[in-house]
Amino acid sequence: MSIRERMSGNEAVAYAIKQINPDVMPAFPITPSTEIPQMVSTFIANGEIDTEFIPVESEHSSMSATMGASAAGARALTATSSCGLAYMWELLYVAASDRLPLVLALVNRALTGPININCDHSDSMGARDAGWIQIYAENNQEAYDNFIQSFRISEHPDVMLPFMACQDGFITSHAVENIELIETDKVKAFVGEYNPENYLLNADMPMAVGPYATSPFYMETKMNQRLAMKNAKKVILDVAAEFEKISGRKYGFFEEYRLDDAEIAIVIMGSAAGTTKDAIDALRAKGIKAGLLKIRVFRPFPGEEIAEALKNVKAVAVLDRAESFSACGGPVGSEVKAAMFDAGVNVKAVNYFYGIGGRDYTVESATEVFEDLMKIADGSMEPENFKYVGLRK
């Protein structure tokens, strides 16, 4: 029997960590992820888990310590947000190239410039090329479920890549929702014990982690990372299928909401998907065939599958919660449109920006996007790329 509970997204992730009982958690506080290590350290102090908690002097050190623990053969994780992730920047690339199976609970928050502590995806989108798996949650339930699946994916011998479990700062991290927890014994059985084949403390097989790679070796390292990311697609689906058996909840690369017969569609990630669903329901009641594709897995990017899902719509808007100042659009928009082009999907596509720096994204905002799409689909409006949704007049 599942356990019904009311939790914030941060509480849900901390509870998942408690159930998994990892070996090591270094962490440094930063809003809005601070509650996660705070709650885990409380579990440890109360004797509920035996994770080794390491308080460090910075986010750079927390990722360094997490990498060291992982390289030594421990199941390790940390948590951060925004500028904390930026402070880890060089180490994100090292963790991925060293093929360290560790997990980072990232509570998405705008990167400073100007100073801001509210939600957008500029932190994780800035790290999108570092070689990490990235999975995004719409709500607290998904934040919990994604985290339970994270170690199984990251530690799989065909993958061995670090995993970034993302949720929207304050919107899900601090808001309380009803969720269903899985019994701890089932979680432990699902996640399993971590028994690495190669690790620094294995006296029978001396090895180096992160040595200097000269030009004859560097490119091969990157190619192996690419192959691991490709392998991760199958592993993500396999783990999700196993997770469905213990939870009853189904996950894939993305969720399709009323997309089967949709003529216009929005592509989006994170908590704003729920708002978009409400707008779709209202439009459907008026006979307007609107739909949604909510991306869950951004790395590895499921481009072929997204293009296939969107091939029958007349117009699509891809919404980004981070600017990239690219001539091709935002991070999500650029990749979705490129995937559609490569697949020969001739659908009118536009790329809008929303929710940057915590700007409200409402049902009315989503409806305005769909109204644009209706005009684009019937030819009465030329597509306007790089439009900002909800911009002050």
pLDDT digits (tens, 9 = 90+) for 23-78: 999 999 999 999 999 999 999 999 999 999 999 999 999 999 999 999 999 999 99
**261 is written with which tokens?**
């017969």
Please state, as a whole number, how many other Cβ atoms lie within 10 Å of the Cβ of residue 273: 26
* β-strands 133-136, 163-168 pairing: parallel
Domain 254-388: assigned CATH number: 3.40.50.920
User: Using one digit for the tens of pLDDT, what is the confidence trace for 145-178?
Assistant: 999 999 999 999 999 999 999 999 999 999 999 9
| Amino acid in position 282 | A
Q: CA 102, CA 83: separation in Å to the nearest integer? A: 20
Count CB atoms within 10 A of the CB of residue 367. 18
pLDDT in tens, 366-391: 999 999 999 999 999 998 888 999 99
Spatial CA neighbour of 167 closest among 153, 150, 147:
147
Could you tell me which of 348, 267, 351 has the C-alpha nearest to residue 313?
A: 348
3-247 belongs to CATH 3.80.30.20: no
Instruction: Look at residue 1 in the predicted model and tell me its pLDDT.
Output: 62
Write the DSSP string, 292-321: EEEE-EEES--HHHHHHHHTT-SEEEEEES
pLDDT tens by residue, 230-246: 999 999 999 999 999 99
pLDDT tens string 99-112: 999 999 999 999 99
Closest of 354, 282, 363 to residue 317, by C-alpha:
354
pLDDT at position 211 over 80: yes
pLDDT at 393: 80
For the chain, what is the mean pLDDT? Answer: 97
pLDDT band at 356 (very low <50, low <70, confident <90, very high): very high
- Residue boundaries of the structural domains of the chain: 3-247, 254-388
If one counts every other C-beta atom within 10 angstroms of the C-beta of residue 270, the result is 28
* Same fold for the pair 3-247 and 254-388: yes
Query: What residue ranges in 194-332 does DSSP mark as E strands?
Result: 254-257, 264-269, 290-295, 297-299, 315-320
